[in-house]
Amino acid sequence: MPASASAHRPEDLISRLRSAAADGGANLKALRELKNQIIGNRTKKLSYIKLGAVPSVVSILASASADVKATDADADADALLLQSAAAIGSFACGFDAGVKAVIDAGAFPHLLGLISHPNDKVVDAGARSLKMIYQSKLAPKYDFLQDKNVTFLLSLLNSENENVTGLGASIITHSCETSIEQKALSDAGVLKRLICLIGGSLCQRDASLESLVTIIKGNPEVVSKFLGPESGRALTAVTELTKDRCPRTRLLACMCMIVIRNTCPCYLQDVGTKTKLVLILLELLDDPGQVGDEAAFALSSLIAEKEELQKLAFEENVVDKLCNHLRKGPLQAKRIQGILLALADLCSKLESCRSRLLSLQVLSMVTDALSHDSANVRAAACLCLKSVTRSVKDVIQNLSAGSFMKEVIVIPLVQLLHDTSTSVQVAALGAISNIVVDFTTHKSLFIQCGGVKQLAQLSKSMEPTLRVNAVWALRNLTFLTDNRCKGGIFLELTASALASLIGDPEPSVQEQALALVRNLVDGCIDSVEYVMSEDGHILHAIGRQLQTASKPEVLIQGMYALGNVASGNEFHKEAVMHQLLPQIGDTTQSIIIKHLQNNDSRLRTAAVWALVNLTFPSSPGAHGRVVKLRNAGITSQLKNMVNDPSLDVKLRVRAALGQIMTFGDGST
C-alpha cells in the first residue's frame, strides 16, 4: 500500500495520535488531519469515536496543559493546545455522541483551564469548544444557587473576550431552569450585565438575547426588573433589534419580546407591536436554515391560547402562508414540526382558521406526517388534527366523513397508540378524543380498528398521562352512542378495571373515569345495568369517591353518574339511595347533604339533579324515598336553597321540591 494511502487510514491516524500523546511530542499534523476529516462529517466523527480517538486527543490536551503550567509560555505547547481544543470542539459540534465522548474522556475541566491561559488564541479555542459542548443537552449543568458558580459566571460575562462572554451566556441558557435560579442570577447582577452585552458584537448580542429569554421566561419579578428604570432602555434596545439585518438577531429579539408578553400580559399590548411580531416571524420562516426552523416555534409560542392574536394572525393570512411552506417539501423534520404546531395553535379556537386550513387541501400532508420517522413530527401532526377536528361541521363539509374516519385518520391514529414514544401516544389520544365524540354514526369503525382494545390497555399504563388520556378518549367514545357500542366498550374495559380507575391515585384519572361512567349509564335502562354488574362494584366505587374525594370536578362527575343511575328503575333508584344516605347507626353526615351545601354551584346542581330523578311522583317507590329524604334533613336543606345565587341550582331545587310536595309537606 502506498505510504500516502496508509497515512490516511483512520487506524494509522489514531496510532500517530497515541504516539504523540505518549511521547509528549507536538505532532500537530495528526491533530490537524483529524480535525479536517471530521468537520461537518457525522459519519467520520462516529467512526473515529469508536476507534478511541477522543481519549487520545484529550490526553494530548492534558499533557500540553501540564507542560504550560510547569514551564513558561511555549509556542509548541500553545499550538498543541489550540489544535487539540479545536479537534475536541469539532467532535462536539452538533453531535450528541461526540459531546458524550468528549465529556466521558474528561475534556471538560481541561477546556475550562484554557479560559485563564495568557495566550488569547488559546482562550478563544477553549471557549469555542466549550460553546459547542453547550449546544447539547448533555453538557454539564451549573447550580446557580452556589455562590462560587455565580462568581465564575460573572467572570466569564465580564471578560473582554467575546467568545468567553458567549460561553457564559451559553451556560446560562443551558443551566438556568428554576425561578429561584432566575432570581439569583438577576440579583447577582447577571441580568444587568446581559443587557449591557446586547450592545456588543454580533456574537455577544445573540448569546445575550438567548440568555435573557432563559432568565426572564415565566418570572414576572425578573421581567419587572428587566423593564425597570435600573435597566435603562432595555426593552427599547430589544425592540430595535427586531429590525436588525441579521436574521438570527431578529428572531432572538422577537423571542425575547414574546417571553415578556407571555410572562406579563400587561406589557406589549398595542396591536401594532403584536402585528409586527407576526409579520417578522413570517418573514423569518423563509430562512432556509436554523432561523427558519425556529421561527415557526416562536410563532406558535406567540399565539398559543390567545384568541385575539390568532385572529390577528388569521387576518395576516398566516394559515395560507404556513400551508404554502408545508407544500414546499421536502422539509427537515424540525421545520415540519414547527409549522404543524403553529397550525395547531391557530386552529385551536377559531372556526375561521379550521375552515381555511381544510379548504387549502393540505390535510393529506398532515395525515402523512402521522407516519413520519421523527416522533416530534408525529406528535405535532396529532396535535394539528386535534385542533382541526374540534370543528366536525367543517370536516364533514370538506370531506367524505366515512372515508375521513376510516382510512385517512382513524387507522393511522390507532396505530400510533402502539408508538414507542409516550408523547406521540398522548398526542394521538388527544386527537382521537376529539374525533370520536362527534362522528356518532362512525364510532363502530373505531372499535373495528382495534381502537377500544388499545385504549383499554393504555388505561392500565403506569404512566398517569397515558391513563388519563386513554380514559378521556373512552369517555368521549361513549358520549351519546348506542347501547351496542357501549356493550363493546364495557366488554373490553370490564367492571373491575373501571372501578379501579374510579379509585385511581390520580384525581384527573378519577374525574375522567367517573365521566365515562356518567356517559355509559346515560340513556336507556339497559345502560344503567353496567354499574350493577359484579355486585355493583362500580356503584360502590362511585360512593366511596363521593365520600372521600376533595377535587370538585371528581365529585361533580360522580354526582352526575349517580343521577343518571337514579333515572333507571326502582332497583337502580334504591341502590343510589343506599349510597347517598348513611346506614343505620352511622352518625356521619349523608353525602347528599354535604354536596348540597358545597360552595361550588356545579356540584350543588348535580346533587339536586339526583334528587329530582329519585323523586319522580310516578315512580312506585317515590313516596318511601321522599320520607327517607325528609327524615335525613334533605327536604329542609332544599328549602334553604330556593333562593340559591345560582340560577341553575334555583330552578332544579324548585323542581325537586315541587315533586316532593306532591306527597305532602310532612308536617303531620
pLDDT over 90, % of the chain: 69
Q: Find cell 344503567 and name the residue.
A: 528
Measured CA to CA, the distance from residue 313 to residue 303 in angstroms comes to: 8
pLDDT band at 72; cut points 50, 70, 90: low
Four-CA torsion 561, 566, 569, 572, nearest 10 degrees: 70
Residue 69 has pLDDT above 70, yes or no: no
pLDDT band at 534; cut points 50, 70, 90: confident
Residue 114 Cα distances to 64, 72, 98, 124, 260, angstroms: 11, 15, 20, 9, 36
Rounded average pLDDT over 403-423: 82
Residue 559 Cα distances to 96, 462, 541, 596, angstroms: 52, 27, 12, 11
The sign of the dihedral angle between the CA atoms of 94, 98, 103, 107 is: negative
Residue 560 has pLDDT above 50, yes or no: yes
The number of beta carbons lying within 10 Å of the beta carbon of residue 271 is: 10
Q: What pLDDT does 393 receive?
A: 54
Largest CA distance in the chain: 118
pLDDT band at 397; cut points 50, 70, 90: low
Q: What pLDDT does 260 receive?
A: 94
Q: What pLDDT does 13 receive?
A: 81
Rounded average pLDDT over 465-494: 90
Measured CA to CA, the distance from residue 251 to residue 314 in angstroms comes to: 21
pLDDT band at 426; cut points 50, 70, 90: very high
Measured CA to CA, the distance from residue 93 to residue 99 in angstroms comes to: 8
Q: What pLDDT does 502 receive?
A: 96
Rounded average pLDDT over 509-529: 92
Rounded average pLDDT over 339-352: 94
Instruction: Report residue 438 as a C-alpha cell.
Output: 362527534
Reduce the secondary structure of 639-665 to three states and give it as a string. HCCCCCCCHHHHHHHHHHHHHHHCCCC
Residue 257 has pLDDT above 80, yes or no: yes
Q: Do 58 and 91 contact (CB within 8 A), yes or no?
A: no
Measured CA to CA, the distance from residue 573 to residue 325 in angstroms comes to: 59
Domains of the chain: 9-140 (1.25.10.10), 598-667 (no CATH)
Q: What pLDDT does 434 receive?
A: 86
Most confident listed range (30-39, 72-81, 297-306, 353-362)? 297-306
Q: Do 502 and 542 contact (CB within 8 A), yes or no?
A: yes
Rounded average pLDDT over 444-463: 88
3-state helix, strand, coil in the chain (%, to 5): 75, 0, 25
Q: What pLDDT does 480 receive?
A: 82
pLDDT digits (tens, 9 = 90+) for 141-184: 999 999 999 999 999 999 999 999 999 999 999 999 999 999 99
Give the number of C-alpha atoms closer than 13 A to the C-alpha of residue 128, restricted to the C-beta side. Answer: 17
Q: Do 84 and 57 contact (CB within 8 A), yes or no?
A: yes
Rounded average pLDDT over 89-104: 94
Residue 136 has pLDDT above 50, yes or no: yes
Residue 81 has pLDDT above 70, yes or no: yes
- More confident position, 588 or 637: 637
Measured CA to CA, the distance from residue 127 to residue 415 in angstroms comes to: 47
Q: Kindly give, in sequence order, each residue whose CB lies less than 8 Å from that of residue 564, ignoring residues fewer than 6 positions away.
A: 518, 521, 522, 528, 613
Q: Kindly give, in sequence order, each residue whose CB lies less than 8 Å from that of residue 322, ignoring residues fewer than 6 positions away.
A: 285, 296, 339, 342, 343, 346
Residue 488 has pLDDT above 90, yes or no: no
Q: Do 552 and 601 contact (CB within 8 A), yes or no?
A: no
Residue 372 Cα distances to 34, 361, 380, 399, 450, angstroms: 35, 19, 10, 23, 22
Q: What pLDDT does 5 receive?
A: 44
The number of beta carbons lying within 10 Å of the beta carbon of residue 504 is: 19
Instruction: Report residue 110 as a C-alpha cell.
Output: 481541561
Q: Of the given ranges (293-307, 506-520, 585-599), which has the lowest mean pLDDT? A: 585-599
Rounded average pLDDT over 578-584: 76
Residue type, 67: D
Q: Kindly give, in sequence order, each residue whose CB lies less than 8 Å from that of residue 377, ignoring residues fewer than 6 positions away.
A: 333, 336, 337, 340, 369
Q: Per-residue b/e over 18-48, b at no fewer than 16 CB within 10 Å?
A: bebbeeeebbbebbebbbebbeeeeeebbeb
Residue 401 has pLDDT above 50, yes or no: no
The region that residue 666 occupies, defined by phi over 0 for left and psi between -120 and 50 for alpha, beta otherwise, is: left
DSSP 8-state assignment for residue 583: P
Q: Do 64 and 77 contact (CB within 8 A), yes or no?
A: yes
Rounded average pLDDT over 89-100: 93
Phi, psi of 490 (to 5 degrees): -65, -35
Q: Of the given ranges (66-80, 121-135, 302-316), which has the lowest mean pLDDT? A: 66-80
Q: Of the given ranges (147-161, 399-413, 470-484), which has the lowest mean pLDDT? A: 399-413
Residue 190 has pLDDT above 90, yes or no: yes
Residue 318 has pLDDT above 60, yes or no: yes
Residue 41 Cα distances to 36, 50, 137, angstroms: 10, 14, 20
Cα of first residue to Cα of last residue in the chain, in angstroms, is: 116
Most confident listed range (217-231, 444-458, 550-564, 585-599)? 550-564
Query: Mean pLDDT score of the chain, rounded to an integer?
Result: 89
pLDDT digits (tens, 9 = 90+) for 356-396: 998 888 888 999 999 999 999 999 999 999 998 886 555 55
Q: What pLDDT does 6 receive?
A: 43
Residue 218 has pLDDT above 60, yes or no: yes
Reduce the secondary structure of 102-149 to three states and give it as a string. HHHCCHHHHHHHHCCCCCHHHHHHHHHHHHHHCCCCCCCCCCCCCHHH
Residue 121 has pLDDT above 70, yes or no: yes
Look up the pTM and report it.
0.86
Q: What pLDDT does 526 receive?
A: 84
Rounded average pLDDT over 460-476: 95
Give Cα 57 distance to the centre of its chain: 40
